Amino acid sequence: MSWIKRNAETVTAIGTAITALVAVLALAGVKLQIDATQQLHDTQAGKEIYREFLSLSIKNPELAQPGDCPNFTPDRAISYDFFVEHLLFTAEEAVLFDENLALSFENLLSNHGYAICGEAAWTGYTEDVNKMISRTQKRICPEYPTCSE
């Protein structure tokens, strides 16, 4: 008992230091948990956006895979233009949440050579989507057939 009385200040200081260390570690743990939860949320949000676009594609297969030189009616041509715009917008949104989806959207974009190769300058999109368009154009446009209107 006398040892504790003699070293009370030291024991108290060590206890305080350990308490402070535990508090710092707890804060670090909370930060890691918050970051992991945010990452999970972002991945799920990106996948949900992608899933919704796939659902639209299933409902409109002639727009999702129009072929090399589609022969759309004037109304359907407008729908197709908006479908491609929606694809690009969806890619923009989904890739913000989960950049791993970029390749999936680039593959979807490859089905739209008619639109992608028919328009030289695509503007108004994020840098990621512009790069996606550029890579797709370089990959498919040199061999894409010329379509007569």
Confidence grade of residue 1 (pLDDT, cut at 50, 70, 90):
low
Higher pLDDT, 61 or 98: 61
Q: Report the phi/psi class of residue 124: left, alpha or beta, with left for phi > 0 and alpha for psi in -120 to 50.
A: left
Give every CB contact of residue 139 below 8 A, 6+ residues apart in sequence: 110
Confidence grade of residue 122 (pLDDT, cut at 50, 70, 90):
confident
Report the chain's mean pLDDT, rounded to a whole number: 87
Give every CB contact of residue 109 below 8 A, 6+ residues apart in sequence: 87, 88, 91, 116, 132, 133, 136
**What integer pLDDT is reported at residue 10 of this predicted model?**
83
**What integer pLDDT is reported at residue 36 of this predicted model?**
83
CB 113 within 8 A of CB 144: yes
**What integer pLDDT is reported at residue 45 of this predicted model?**
84
Is residue 124 predicted with pLDDT exceeding 70?
A: yes
The pTM for the full model equals 0.74
**What integer pLDDT is reported at residue 149 of this predicted model?**
58
Is residue 146 predicted with pLDDT exceeding 90?
A: no
CB 55 within 8 A of CB 134: no
| Number of Cβ within a 10 Å radius of residue 61 | 9
Confidence grade of residue 2 (pLDDT, cut at 50, 70, 90):
confident
Q: What is the pLDDT of residues 14-54, one digit of tens each?
A: 888 888 888 888 888 888 888 888 888 878 888 898 899 99
